[in-house]
Amino acid sequence: MAYIAKFASIIILFVITFMFGVAPSIVLKYLDRSSARSKFYLGVLNSIAGGIFFGTAILHLLPESIEQLQMYPMVSHSLAYTLVGVGFFLMLITEHVIGLYHSLHSHSSGYENLEGSEKPLQTITKDKNSLTSMQMTSNQSSSDTYGSVFEKEPEQQPDTLTAANKDRDLTDTKHVDCQKEKEMEDDCDRISRLKAFIVLVALSVHMVFEGLAIGLQKTESEVWTLLGVISIHKCMVAFSLGLQLWTFRQMRNILLATAGFSLVAPIGVGIGIAVSEFGGNGKARGIASGVLQSLTTGTFLYITFFEILQKELCHKYDLVKVFWSILGFVLVMGVNLISEDSM
């Protein structure tokens, strides 16, 4: 009977994760994000997501990683905390390296655009100067023959051409500035998408081990109890991840990313079933789980403070958003208390 519960948990985990992961993108797609009300609701959701990520990091991931690594005497007790710092700085380094690369790339392309825009202006100026000199010569010869009717015209044309060149210079400068601004926005979008992808990978690693825990249970009651706790946790995390995946913009990419994330926990359940049936190296599995979950904790801390809460709270003092962040944290705390009572 435990096998039936385990296979049912595979379907349940996939469905609820996909539904809650896609829900934010569907809401945001049909929401007028330019209105003040929409911005308020989006800020509330992001604040709750920040609290959920923070609570998941220090109340769920960190204790689990410490527990896994402390089971083995040869592993240093400070390794879990060290790996949390490593995960945090890996995210920080990744963001700055990619940002620096795109910044240098945009500067070089900007200089090329400036050089390319100057050459036609120089050509036009030279051509018009030569045209002016030809007209002056022609006018002089004409004035010698027919009189001095055109003597004042050459004096006015250089001023007219200079004003035209200045207008073109101003127009081209505005064009280059607009192009630079667009490139900066594109760079920010690329970095945001990369961060969302890193969060997706980190969460996927964590969810594999949660699914593995379900697959390793021996009785049906243990499977259903653990499934209930993990399902509540996955609903909150999937919804928070869905807000981050909105940076992918295209709905097709969001659906693919959410579907991939929804599959990892069922895959973990399948691995757990195979391990419980055929055996495996529990020591190596425990160390790998502790190391990966410690790195994931550092990633979550970075996302919480540098990506979510910083954007929501750095512009002004907003106790309402602070309250919603605390609510997200309390939700995770409640799930942890339920899981401790049920075990």
**Whether residues 81 and 203 fall in one domain:** yes
Q: Which string of b and e fits 259-282 if b means at least 16 CB within 10 Å?
A: eebbbbbbbbbbbbbebbeeeeee
Domains in the chain: how many in total? 2
Q: What's the pLDDT at 183?
A: 57
**Exposed (0-12), middle (13-18) or buried (19+): which is 290, by Cβ within 10 Å?**
buried
**Exposed (0-12), middle (13-18) or buried (19+): which is 336, by Cβ within 10 Å?**
middle
Where are the alpha helices (H) located in 216-281, listed in sequence order?
220-245, 251-278
| Percentages (nearest 5) of helix, strand, coil residues in the chain | 90, 0, 10
Quote the tokens at residue 255.
């659906």
Cα four-point dihedral sign 177, 183, 187, 190: positive
Quote the tokens at residue 318.
């907003």
**Whether residues 146 and 199 fall in one domain:** no
**Exposed (0-12), middle (13-18) or buried (19+): which is 147, by Cβ within 10 Å?**
exposed
Rg (CA), the chain: 31
Q: What's the pLDDT at 326?
A: 95
Vertex 8 angle, CA 6 and 13, to 5° = 95
**Whether residues 166 and 219 fall in one domain:** no
Domain that holds residue 97: 2-106+192-342
Q: What's the pLDDT at 126?
A: 46
**Whether residues 297 and 161 fall in one domain:** no
**Whether residues 102 and 114 fall in one domain:** no
Domain end, chosen from 149, 178, 207, is at 178
**Whether residues 169 and 213 fall in one domain:** no
**Whether residues 302 and 265 fall in one domain:** yes
**Whether residues 200 and 81 fall in one domain:** yes
* Residue 186 covered by a domain: no
Q: What's the pLDDT at 218?
A: 77
Place of tokens 């963001």: 95
Residue 260 has, within 13 A of its CA and on its CB side, a CA count of: 15
Q: Can you list the positions of beta strands (E) in the chain?
A: none
Q: Which string of b and e fits 128-144 if b means at least 16 CB within 10 Å?
A: beeeeeeebeebeeeee
**Whether residues 90 and 228 fall in one domain:** yes
Place of tokens 């909150």: 236
Domain end, chosen from 133, 153, 178, is at 178
* Residue 185 covered by a domain: no
Q: What's the pLDDT at 16?
A: 92
Q: What's the pLDDT at 18?
A: 93
Q: What's the pLDDT at 138?
A: 47
Quote the tokens at residue 235.
């609903």
What is the phi/psi pair of residue 66, to 5°? -65, -45
**Whether residues 311 and 325 fall in one domain:** yes
pLDDT in tens, the chain (343 residues): 578 888 899 999 999 999 999 988 888 777 766 677 778 888 888 899 889 889 988 988 899 888 888 887 777 778 999 999 998 998 888 878 877 876 776 655 555 554 554 444 444 444 444 444 444 444 444 444 444 444 444 554 555 556 556 556 555 555 555 555 555 555 666 777 777 777 788 778 778 877 887 887 778 887 888 888 788 888 888 888 888 887 777 888 889 989 998 998 899 888 888 877 766 666 777 787 788 888 888 988 988 888 788 888 877 778 888 999 999 999 989 888 877 766 5
